[in-house]
Structure formats: structure tokens, C-alpha cells
Chain A
């Protein structure tokens, strides 16, 4: 049995631990969703960046966004749109193509830099490969690089910057300064990670003096970011389950990675306080994570490394039963695989669907640019980007005018059965159309056919006119 396992271990190292295998598997996983949903834009964020980038290309950076929340100040994180605009001007590639193809390229490069960073620290071949596989199968990584999101560029820049820092050539070290400076244009949480990681690196290598220029640049970047964006640390409350993909979080952690990391911590604890720096790094990361959920994409990377050591620890541990050991290891690896595969399955479907696209096209053709369209926040960005019309609410809540009140009104409109109250609300907010999707009727907003707004619009043809009804998608005009 022991010999067989040793053979299996050797086979793993020769087959899967090589960089070729890691990068091939990584590339396949990153490309896989495209084969199912086609090489097209996917998700709200991609459409948001498309709209903003195209707007900047045509009109420079505006002061006001006429479409989001019925009109609002143009306060957005500009890193991604500006990068897209610059790439468009430099390489003459249209924005849509950039949005479709860059996530895969950045994802692949991020994986490569992650690999190179770990190799620089002399992480053993099999642990290194475990960490890389865990990373490419982790929902936060897949979320960042299977479609364009606000993490796609800064996550890559952070890895690139750190790789340049640890490089032995001084000239390359200097480039890291420039790379970190680019983070100014992204959310503060990305700069914070750069700051934290470089601080711990220089402390670990007992070279804190070298940290001074980097810290200066990063703190300056943070100041500029805060000065222009005024987002601060973007601290918002999140529900516990959102931190875990397994429990329904959009880009949460895999619970099995957390289990493995727990064993990784036990492994770290073998050297007790000699590893104090790592504990402090993890605790600091945890604090930032609790303040800002976006830090999850970085915390995930730390857990992937810890998890790889955890897996090694479990494997090397002297078990009294080899069967139990093997089954446990298989279960944990299965759990990691399960999270990755679940994420991919959830993202195989094109978002928005063809049916929703048709509905949004109809809205563009048949409504006036002044019309405000009310629908669930999940579709708000598509109203802006595809229909090119004003939405009532969308996912960009920060700095939106009266966003809390708008969400309150939206809930009230959806669930009220009083015609006068409902008409008051929609007219006061200048809503001209209501878009209802099958998902909204099946649990997202309502559970019954005659609930709240659904009841009122059907019973009052004098006030609500059904102008579009196809595949369960309905557009109601308010008369």
C-alpha cells in the first residue's frame, strides 16, 4: 500500500507539479466558460465598464452620469475604464474585445506571477503546485478572471508589483514603484494589500529601509485615491454567508480551502512564535477583510498557500489508518474541486440571456432617453448599458443620490397593493416603464402571481399598459 502511494506521489509530481501542467490546466479552466457562453460580454460589471469606457472615449471624463440612478455625479473607480480606453487608443482594439479577452490574459499572467513568486521563496514543487491548483479553482480567482470585473486589473498589478519587488535586479525593483503607483486609480483595498505585502516582505527579509520608497509611493497613491474617489476604505456591512461561496456568496471562499488552511496553521504553529510574522499578516488581512469584502480576492491567495501546506501536513502526518488518511485527503481535494466546478457551472450561462437582451433592445427602440425604467437592481446596469436608458437603481450604490431611499421606494413599489400609493411613488420618481423578468416572478421579488405590484398592474389597465410580453419578460408602461 505504502509503495503504491509513493508511486502515486511520484506520478503526481511528474505529471501535475510541472509548470507546464499548472499553466495548461489554469488556461483551460479560465477559457472553459467561454466555450459554453460564447466569446461575449458577461455580467453586470463588464457592461458597466463598457459603457463608462465608451463614454470616456467619446466625451472625455464627464462630471455627471445621466443614466445610473436616474442621474448622478460621476464618482467611479477609474482604473479599469481608463486602462481600457488607453489600450483601445494604443492597440486599436475595440472595448468589447478588450473586455472579453483581457480577463483570461490577466488571469493567466496572475497565475504565472503567483507561481514565480512562490518559486522565488523556494516553496517545494508539490506544495507550489497544490497552491496554484487551489488558486485556479478558487471562486474569488475565477470570479476575477472569467469575466471582466473591478478586480481583474488591480489583482494582476499587485502580483506584478510584488514580483518586481522580490526580483534581484534593481532596475526591475524600480519598475515596481511605477506599477504600485498605477493602483491609485483602483479601490483603496488594492493599495492596502500592496502596502501590507511589501511591509511584511521587507520585515521578513530584514530590509525595512528598502520599504521606505515603496511605502511612500503606496501611501501617496492611497492619498490620491482618497482625494479623488473619496471612497475611503469603502467599509460596508456584509452578511456572514457572503464570505463563503459554498453558502451562496458571489465570490466567497471555498469552505474546504478554509479547512485546509486550518491545517496549514497547525503546520505553521509547529515553529510556534518563530512564525509570528505570518500570524500578524493573517490577522491584519482578516481585519481588512472584515472591513471590506473586496479584500477576499487577496485573502484567498494567502489561504491557497496556507491550504497547500495544510494538505502537505495532513498527508505527511503519521496516521494510524492509511485508508482514513487517503479518504480524508480525497475528500478535501474533492471539496476544492467542487467549489471550482460549482462556480464554473454557475457561470456557464450567458448573463444577460438572449431573451433579456431582446427585451432590453426593445426598451432601447421604443422608449425615450428621458424615460426612467424601474426593475430589480440586478438588471439596472443592463438598462444603462444595453438599452441606454436611465435606471432607477443598480449595484453602484456608493455616491448614488438617496440610494437608501431609492431602494426603500423600490421595495415599496414591488410589494404595495395600493394603487394610489404605487402611482404616487412611480410618478414622483419619474418612472415611465417597469421591467419584470421571470426570475423576479420566481422568488427574486415575488413568489405568487398576484403579489404586490403584479396584482396592481394586472387589475388596473387604465394606469398600466403591457407593451412587451415575450418568454416571461414583461414591460409595463405607466400611463
Chain B
């Protein structure tokens, strides 16, 4: 392996890492309330050695299903200060390295692989789903990417071992492991359709992986299956996001989208290669999950962006091949420079500007911890659900752990009604139903519901303001 490309790769990796760390460490709080749930699970493991099985502060008490690998891993790393910022940033940046090696396998070209690595480091969707978040996807996405790399190089024994270990880790980490199953199902289908000869080891390993992922997930979700049957797949989730096509294009990044589609087109009509079929399978697997609404839109776009970035490598390589045939063959460096300018304008800056601090001031939650009865129930919107147990050590009404939760769809609609409805009586009835003691309504919450205050407030008979952003329910 040449040293120069590796040096450039290291620089790209460092740039991505610095970028992620800068955004993470300059924010006062982690984005996404689920980050704080993960921190709670780690605290629980530190204290008891076991993850949370029953969360008495969530929904007023409920059972949880936690696939614990992520939490145990970070519990081990928790001696490092800011481990919840540093290691996720490292994992996200590792996509640069993995993408480079996958692209090199596909294109066999250093330049296009390096450009692909650069693209992989800065995708606008990362700002919404990965950066400054302590979520499982910071581990799952690089792990799936790494497993795809291992699968490409499965004939080498070490990659075979990595693939098996990766499969076990993934199954123990998150149900996204099913995504990998779908990717490989499409892969088998396409390989057969295209008459590509697949080595026996790959077939056998895929068969094993299918059973492994299935078995481990069934072990974890046994209780949920008994409670909901197959409704586990769809049921209990109040959030049915619809796709905004243009926003999705923006989040995927203009360059990966444009080059990715060209790459897929060229791959389709070019000589059929096993690796290209694998890229197709990634895209088709995710689109299929979108179609049957089995994947959250943002998470789906995250995985799709990875597929498109890898597909871009084909278009980039073909562009350089084409360039070499024209009279501009000496202008390779200039082309790269132009590409970098485009990259800054269309990938780097959108990724930077797309990032927003989700929580600006959570001091009121800490105030609640010190000033209200410990059995109190605090009402917040869904997006703030996990903050209540973490910062206030009090019970919430709803959070984003929907599986096994009591009636989250109804709760979600009721909470929307309490915050944005006009009926005082209805609000009182619902607040009593959920035994709410305090209502959290900060500026950000008001922005979520597009309100200036609780719309039905007339007097302070039942709902009294005790702080700028906290009401007490006394009836």
C-alpha cells in the first residue's frame, strides 16, 4: 500500500473527527433526548451491573427491552472524560476509513477512493442523526459498513472472523441488524438474477448470519412478541413521518445523491461485479424498508446516504477514466480541486449549517429535581421525554421507548391536545388521567406546538405558573 494515499486518508479522517468533536464539545447539551436515556442505562450498569429492565420513571413505570452491547461497551469506556462525545465522534469519523476501503475494493483506484472517503466524512444527514448524539446508530452504521467491507473480502480468514464477530455484536446492539438481513436478501436475489457466481463460503456465511440475527433478536424481543404478536413490527409507534422529497435530497447531500445515482446507472450497464451488486442491495434493502414503513425516515436516509456515497465511487472513477481519454487528461489535479470546491459548498457547509443545538437550556429540569416531590409526574412533549428521568429524576408521561410502553399512541395525541388544544376541561381531564403534577413549557416547547402559552389558561385555579417554563397542576 502506498504511503501518500494513507496520509491523505489520515488527514481526511482527522478533519472529520475535528469537525464532529468541535460541534459536539461546543454544545452545552447532547442532542436527541434518547442520548440521555443511553446515559441512564450506562449509569444503571455501573451501579448494578445490569441494564434497565424495568424503568419506573418512564410512562410511570414500564418494562424495557434493551439490547445492551452498546451500553456495556461505553460503560467500559466511561472512565474517559466526555466519553459520550469523543467515542461517538470517533465512530462516525471511522466511516471515512471504511468507505475508503470499500471504494478501493470496488474501483481499484486511489483517487476516487479518497474522494469517496471525503464524501463519507461530511453528509448533511449526520448533523440530524449522529453528530453530538449519544445514540446507538453511531455504532450501528459504522458496524454495518464494516461488515459490508468484511463480506467483500470474506475469503481472507481475518475478515471472515471479523464478519462473524461483527454479526454477533450487531445483533446484540440493535434491531437494525434486520436491515443487514434485508440487504443480504436482496444481494442473494440480485446475484442469482445476474448469474454471478458466488463462492460457497459467502453463501454459507450468509445463511448462518440469517439464523444468528434472527435467533438473537427473537431472544430479545420474545416478551414483545408475546404481548403484541407481529404488531411489534409496526404497532405502538405514534410517529408516522412522511417523506419530504426535497428535504430528503438536501439531507442526503447533493453530491452523494447526484454522483450516487450516476454510479448506480453506470454500475447497472457496466460489467456485472459482485461488489456493485452489493451496493444495489444496500440501496434496495433500505428502499424496501421505506416502502413497508419498517424504518424511521431519518435513519433510513442515514443508511441510504452511506449506500449513495459508496455508489459515488463508481461515478468518480469513471469520470477520471473519461478525463484521461480527453485532451484535459493533464488537468486531473485541477479536476480534484474543482471537486473539493464543490464539496465544500455542497457537502461540508450544508453539514455544518444543518447542525442545530436541540436543547439550549435544561436548568429547569435540574430545578425540578431539587424542588418538587420525588413522586411527581412531569409532562413534557415527546421530544423531551427522556430528559425528565435523567435530569429531574422524576417520572415522565411519554418518551421515545415505545415498545412495551402503555398506549403511547393515545398518550402522544393526548399530550398534543394538552399543549395545543383549546378545551380547558379536556386538558384538566387528561392531566388527571395521567396524574400529572408539573407541565414543562419552555420557549422551545412553544415553538414545537407553535403556541405562545397554554391556549386555554384563564385563571390559576388548577394550573399555576411556578416558574417561567413550569406550571403546577394542583386540582
Provided the pairs A246-B225, A328-B207, A448-B434 are in contact, do residues A338 and B200 lie with their beta carbons within 8 angstroms? Answer: no
A392 CB to nearest chain B CB (Å): 24
Contact for A334 among B199, B215, B229, B407, CB less than 8 A:
B215
B39 CB to nearest A CB, Å: 28
Tell me if A277 is interfacial: C-beta within 8 Å of chain B. no
Contact among A240, A320, A448 with B406 in the assembled complex (CB-CB below 8 Å):
A448
Cβ of A237 to closest chain B Cβ, rounded Å: 14
Distance in angstroms between the alpha carbons of A346 and B222 in the assembled complex: 11
For chain A residues 319-373, which have a beta carbon within 8 Å of chain B?
Answer: 319-321, 324-325, 327-328, 331-332, 334-335, 338, 342, 346
B433 interface contact, C-beta 8 A: yes
Q: Which residue of B lies closest to A335 (CB)?
A: B215
Task: List residues 92-137 of chain A with CB under 8 A from any CB of chain B.
Answer: none
| In the complex with contacts A246-B225, A448-B434, A321-B204 CB distance below 8 A | yes
How far does the Cβ of A342 sit from chain B's closest Cβ, in whole Å? 6
With a cutoff of 8 Å between Cβ atoms, the chain B residues found around residue A241 in the complex are 225, 229-231
Docked-complex contact A320 and B211, CB < 8 angstroms:
no
- Would A247 and B407 count as touching, CB distance under 8 A? no
Given A246-B225, A320-B201, A448-B434, A443 contacting B215 (CB threshold 8 A): no
A282-329 interface (Cβ within 8 A of B): 319-321, 324-325, 327-328
A450 contacts across to B, CB distance below 8 A: 432-433
A255 close to B (CB within 8 Å): yes
Q: How far is the CA of A271 from the CA of B119 in the complex (A)?
A: 53
Q: Are B407 and A448 in contact (CB under 8 A)?
A: yes
CA distance in complex: A334, B230 (Å) = 22
List chain A residues, Cβ under 8 A from B204.
Answer: 319-321, 324-325, 328
The contact string, 1 if C-beta is below 8 Å from chain B, for chain A 421-450, is 000000000000000000000110001111
* Contact across chains for A248 and B407 when beta carbons are under 8 A apart: no
CA distance A255 to B222 in the complex (A): 12
Q: Which of B185-232 contact A (CB under 8 A)?
A: 199-201, 204-205, 207-208, 211-212, 214-215, 218-219, 222, 225-232
Q: Is B363 an interface residue (CB 8 A)?
A: no
Q: Which residue of B lies closest to A317 (CB)?
A: B204
Question: CA separation between A256 and B219, bound complex, in Å?
Answer: 13
Which residues of B have CB within 8 Å of A332?
Answer: 211
Whether the pair A324, B208 counts as a contact (CB closer than 8 A) is: yes
**A54: interface (CB < 8 Å):** no
**In this assembly, does A45 line the interface, its C-beta being within 8 Å of a C-beta of chain B?**
no
A261 to chain B, nearest CB (A): 14
B410 interface contact, C-beta 8 A: yes
Q: Is the CB of A338 within 8 A of B215?
A: yes
Given the known inter-chain contacts A246-B218, A338-B218, A443-B406, please indicate yes or no for A448 contacting B433, CB distance below 8 A: yes
Contacting A335 at CB < 8 Å: which of B211, B226, B231? B211
Residues 236-260 of chain A, each 1 if its beta carbon lies under 8 Å from chain B, else 0: 0001111000111100000110010
Residues of B within 8 A of A334 (CB): 215
* Chain B 427-444 interface 0/1 with A at a Cβ cutoff of 8 Å (1 = within): 000001111000000000
B376 CB → nearest A CB, Å: 16
Nearest A-chain residue to B204, judged by Cβ: A324
CA distance A338 to B212 in the complex (A): 13
Q: Contact between A324 and B432 (Cβ–Cβ < 8 Å)? A: no
A351 CB → nearest B CB, Å: 15
In the complex the two chains form, what is the Cα distance from A443 to B61 in whole Å?
13
**Nearest B residue to A444, CB-CB:** B227
Q: Please tell me if the beta carbons of B229 and A247 are within 8 angstroms of each other in the complex.
A: yes
Q: Is the CB of A447 within 8 A of B410?
A: yes
Across the interface, do B219 and A338 meet the contact criterion of CB distance under 8 Å? Answer: yes
User: Do A443 and B227 have beta carbons less than 8 Å apart?
Assistant: yes
Partner of A259, one of B211, B229, B231, B406: B211
Nearest CB in chain A: distance from B176 CB, A? 20
Considering the chains assembled together, what is the distance between the CA atoms of A447 and B200 in angstroms?
51
Chain B residues within 8 Å of chain A by Cβ, number: 31
Q: In the complex, which residues of chain A have a beta carbon less than 8 angstroms from the beta carbon of B218?
A: 246, 255, 335, 338
The distance from the CB of A185 to the nearest CB of chain B, in whole angstroms, is: 33
Range, interface on chain A: 20 to 34
Tell me which of B160, B212, B225 contacts A248 (CB under 8 A): B225
Q: Which residues of B contact A451 (CB under 8 A)?
A: 433
- What chain B residues lie within 8 Å of A443 (beta carbons)? 227, 406
Closest residue on chain B to residue A450 by CB atoms: B433
The answer to whether B211 and A331 touch across the interface, beta carbons within 8 angstroms, is: yes
Contact bitstring A372-392, B, C-beta under 8 A = 1, else 0: 000000000000000000000
Within 8 Å CB of B205, what residues of A? 321, 324
Taking CB atoms, residues of chain B closer than 8 Å to A449 are: 433, 435
Question: What chain A residues lie within 8 Å of B199 (beta carbons)?
Answer: 320
Is the Cβ of B229 less than 8 Å from the Cβ of A242?
A: yes
Task: Tell me which residues across on chain A come within 8 A of B230, comparing CB atoms.
Answer: 239-241, 247-248
Contact with A along B228-244 (1 / 0, CB 8 A): 11111000000000000
| Bound Cα distance from A342 to B220, whole angstroms | 12
Residue of B200, B226, B231, B434 with most chain A CB atoms under a 10 A cut-off: B226
In the assembled complex, the Cα of A328 lies from the Cα of B209 at a distance in Å of 9
- In the bound complex, residues from chain A placing their C-beta under 8 Å from that of B219 are 338
Most chain B beta-carbon contacts within 10 A, residue among A248, A319, A320, A442? A248
The CA-CA distance from A448 to B225 in the complex, in Å, is 22
A352: shortest Cβ distance to chain B, in Å?
19
Residues in B with CB closer than 8 Å to A259 are 211
Closest chain A residue, CB of each to CB of B212: A331
CB within 8 Å of A: which B284-340 residues: none
Could you tell me the distance in whole angstroms from the C-beta of A260 to the nearest C-beta in chain B? 10
Residues of A within 8 A of B228 (CB): 248
Give A446-476 as 1s and 0s: 1 = Cβ < 8 Å from B's Cβ atoms. 0111110000000000000000000000000
- A240: B residues at CB distance < 8 A: 230
- B215–A248 contact, CB under 8 A? no
Residues of B within 8 A of A249 (CB): 229
Q: Is the CB of B407 within 8 A of A328?
A: no
Q: How many angstroms between the C-alpha atoms of A89 and B201 in the bound complex?
A: 65
* Given A255-B218, A338-B218, A443-B406, CB of A331 within 8 Å of CB of B229: no
Residues in A whose Cβ lies below 8 Å from that of B435: 449
Q: How far is the CA of A28 from the CA of B79 in the complex (A)?
A: 49
Q: Which residue of A lies closest to B219 (CB)?
A: A338
Cβ of A331: which chain B residues have Cβ within 8 Å of it? 208, 211-212, 215
A113 to chain B minimum Cβ distance, whole angstroms, is 32
Residue of A nearest to B433 (CB): A450
Q: How far is the CA of A430 from the CA of B10 in the complex (A)?
A: 80
Nearest chain B CB to A56 CB, angstrom units: 36
Given contacts A248-B227, A321-B201, A447-B406, contact A328 B222 (CB under 8 A): no
Give the docked Cα–Cα distance between A331 and B204 (Å).
14
Docked CA distance A332–B219 (Å)? 13
B407–A327 touching, CB < 8 Å? no
Query: Are A320 and B410 interface neighbours, CB within 8 A?
Result: no
Q: Which residue of B lies closest to A259 (CB)?
A: B211
A321 and B410 CA atoms in complex are apart in Å by: 51
CA gap between A442 and B225 in the complex, in Å: 17
Q: Which 6 A-B pairs have the closest CB atoms?
A: A241-B229, A447-B406, A447-B407, A248-B229, A241-B230, A320-B200
Contacts A/B (CB < 8 Å), 27 sampled: A241-B229, A242-B229, A248-B226, A248-B227, A248-B228, A319-B204, A321-B205, A324-B205, A324-B207, A327-B164, A328-B208, A331-B208, A334-B215, A335-B211, A335-B214, A335-B215, A335-B218, A338-B219, A342-B222, A346-B226, A442-B406, A447-B407, A447-B410, A448-B406, A448-B407, A448-B433, A449-B433
Given contacts A246-B218, A324-B205, A448-B407, 15 further A-B contacts (CB under 8 A): A241-B225, A241-B229, A241-B231, A242-B229, A255-B218, A319-B204, A320-B200, A320-B201, A324-B201, A327-B212, A335-B211, A443-B227, A447-B406, A448-B406, A451-B433
